[in-house]
Amino acid sequence: MATNAQKYRQMLEAGDFIVSPGVYDGYSARLVEAAGFPTAATSGAAVSNSLLGIADIGVMGLSENVGHCRNIARSISIPLTCDADTGYGNAVNVYHTVQQFEEAGVAGLNLEDQVSPKRCGHMQGKEVIAESDMVKNIEAACMARRDDAFVIIARTDALAVEGIEATIRRAKSYLAAGADLIFPDAVSSEDYIRRLVDAGIPLSINMGFGIRKRPTTPLIPLKDLKAWGVRRVSLPRMLPAAAIHGMAEALRVMKDAYENGVTVDRPDLLVGIDDIMKLMDYDGVRALERKVLPQDVLERKYDRGAVA
């Protein structure tokens, strides 16, 4: 049976156009799988924001990130790629970072060429390490993986710092070092995307979704990106933004109801408990109990004769 890394590798080798919604917890990951998407990708910013409650400025550590990604990966059956920030140090640290993520059951990871402590790719004030240092990081990442199917996605933030020509040069160096995809973050124009693809770069683009304020990368129809030759699109902020909007609106309604002393039923804002149980496979738990627990325990838990 193919591993999730092998499934992801097969998609790449088949030339599939991969769309990966960004996830940050068990709810979001299960929703992506239930919606029929073949892959998911953690948003490092969303994981950092939701776990620590602070901006994505490189405070989250390796163990926090790997542990959280392990839980997400085992909650779904589709391949999950994860954001490993800068690899948490030099090439030696990158080597161990890759092994820990691979052991966590993910299909691949992003490694970026920012100076540590990194920051969200859509923030100002970014710096990048020397191209030669990132090449060593990628070589160490490839050396560390136990399964060659495990995907190494090299993210570069050079566009905002050094420009498009340097970005293309870095991308080619990273590919030569063994990277499978190049993820240039905060690509500010369609022309830059086309130039990278035309340069022969297997490209992963980070795309916003429904952002009111103009995003760093322009919103481009996915069918256009596919037609241009982009290999993968990640949508890191769609689900976190939707969740924040939904929670804020639900709290506003609840506060109004409390202040006015009324009870409000808003099925347009809230799913039912049955929906949550279905999403999280509560029936699977009951089925497992029927298989492994003694009959007298089942009868004590659920009343005699209630469990077939």
pLDDT of residue 10: 98
Only one residue has tokens 């149980």, namely 277
What's the pLDDT tens digit per position in 174-233? 999 999 999 999 898 999 999 999 999 999 999 876 555 555 678 899 999 999 999 999
pTM (2 d.p.): 0.92
pLDDT of residue 225: 96
Q: Is pLDDT of 25 > 80?
A: yes
What's the pLDDT tens digit per position in 230-264? 999 999 989 999 999 999 999 999 998 888 888 88
Average pLDDT, rounded, for the chain:
93
Which two structure tokens, joined as six digits, stand for 168?
């293309």
At CB < 8 A and 24+ separation, what contacts does 124-127 make?
126/157, 126/160, 126/161, 127/161
Omega before 236 cis (within 30°)? no
DSSP class of residue 115 equals P
The answer to whether the CB of 114 falls within 8 A of the CB of 129 is: yes
Confidence of residue 307 (pLDDT cuts 50, 70, 90): very low
Percent of the chain at pLDDT above 70? 96
